[in-house]
Structure 1
Amino acid sequence: MTPQKRIYTKDDLLADMAAVEPFDEKERADIRATIEFLRRDSNPFDRTNFAGHITGSGFLLSPDRQSVLLTHHAALDKWLQFGGHADGEADIRNVALRETEEESGKTDIKLFTPGIFDVDVHEIPENPNKGEPRHLHYDIRYLLLARSLDFKVSHESKALQWVPLRELSAISFSGSLNRMAIKTTP
């Protein structure tokens, strides 16, 4: 008899969230807000929930752990980590891996650490072309490791680039992206 795969649930995610050690006060507040959102919202993983929704991201390190692969996001026109919508899936670790693979064209990615690496709540601007009002992304991030430096630019990106962690602040004004670089840099 083949054992059934255990389904990861919202309660599992809440337990994982409770174990996250915040890096700073911003992340502490974002962890608290994400936990509260998960507890009160009956549909937190649906992208059409404009009270906000959970998203999953991957901070993808190079094999030598000195650089991060970033996407110049086509719609937002910013350098960001890979990530996207859960589309109903509660296993946000899988979401982060899937989105990173889709957006980078890489299939040689693995989790570098098993737990949640970073949590950030940020506002997404209104998008009249998609009929989307301004809303919040409760972004749960995982630290990933690539086994090679190759990549492929997807339609969601203007470009991809390996950026040395110590130089990230020169191209990114994102506090949370720079926070992840600091967390990663020895």
Structure 2
Amino acid sequence: MKDIEEIGYFSADDDADHSLWAALSGFVATATDPFGRDPQVGHVTGSAFVLSPDREAVLLTHHAKLHMWLQLGGHCDGIADVPFVALKEAYEESGLRRIQPVGDARRVLDIDIQTIPATAKEPEHLHYDVRYLFLASDLDFTVSAESNALRWVPLGELEAFNNSESLLRLRQRTLDFLC
């Protein structure tokens, strides 16, 4: 088990996990401001895989800029406390009234390094996305300006919304953790 103070700890299951953790650790150790928002070097982001109270569904956002269904989350914007950022983003993007970590709040569920496409304002860059598992106390959400829509998606139907290896891996890690 490995720990980064600003991020938490992660139990790597295989070589791919070790490689992702090494890349994230190296980036945090060498970047001038890894928790900032400089698209020239990339940055750390925090994501929240928010389960419904019965743990049968996850709240997905149809992201307004990326035009795809994703878990909640976003930029650290200089905050060097990634579990807090993931929770803050989940509240801001969902309007849920109460969200709590499943297990230890510093336990990293998954890591994904994503290439974000260039826009008119920013070049292509990397998001070092650190993902945490949360549980909502109710189902009542409010769509924010960052989303086209929100939806509780049954875990078994995730592929109908986003069949990326990244999101399906996140689902599998959740199921493994809950068992």
Q: TM-score, with normalisation over the residues of structure 2?
A: 0.90
Runs of 4+ in 1 over 4 A off after TM superposition: none
What SS class does the counterpart of residue 81 from structure 1 fall into? strand
AA partner of residue 139 (structure 1)? D
Q: Which one has a bigger Cα radius of gyration?
A: 1
Question: 103-112 or 68-77, which moves further after superposition?
Answer: 103-112
Q: Percent identity?
A: 47
Query: Quick one: distance in 2 between partners of 1:118 and 1:94?
Result: 16
1:13 aligned to which of 1, 6, 9: 6
Question: How many residues align structurally?
Answer: 172
Does residue 171 (structure 1) correspond to residue 177 (structure 2)? The answer is: no
Q: Give, in angstroms, the shift of residue 156 of structure 1.
A: 0.7
Q: Deviations over 1:86-111 (max 9, x none)?
A: 01111001100110100001121111
The 1:64–1:24 alpha-carbon spacing in structure 2 relative to 1, beyond 3 Å, is: farther
Corresponding residue for residue 7 of structure 1: none
Corresponding residue for residue 60 of structure 2: 70
Superposed CA RMSD in Å reads 1.7
Q: Deviations over 1:14-52 (max 9, x none)?
A: 6x3xx4123454433222110110111121011125211
Query: Quick one: distance in 2 between partners of 1:121 and 1:31?
Result: 10
What SS class does the counterpart of residue 176 from structure 1 fall into? helix
Does residue 29 (structure 1) correspond to residue 22 (structure 2)? The answer is: no
Corresponding residue for residue 45 of structure 1: 35
Residues 166 and 181, structure 1, Cα contact 8 Å, conserved in 2: no
> Structure 1 stretches of 5 or more lacking a match?
1-9
Residues 43 and 49, structure 1, Cα contact 8 Å, conserved in 2: no
Query: Quick one: distance in 2 between partners of 1:95 and 1:67?
Result: 22
The structure whose residues are more often strand, as a share, is 2
Residues 113 and 142, structure 1, Cα contact 8 Å, conserved in 2: no
The 1:181–1:33 alpha-carbon spacing in structure 2 relative to 1, beyond 3 Å, is: same
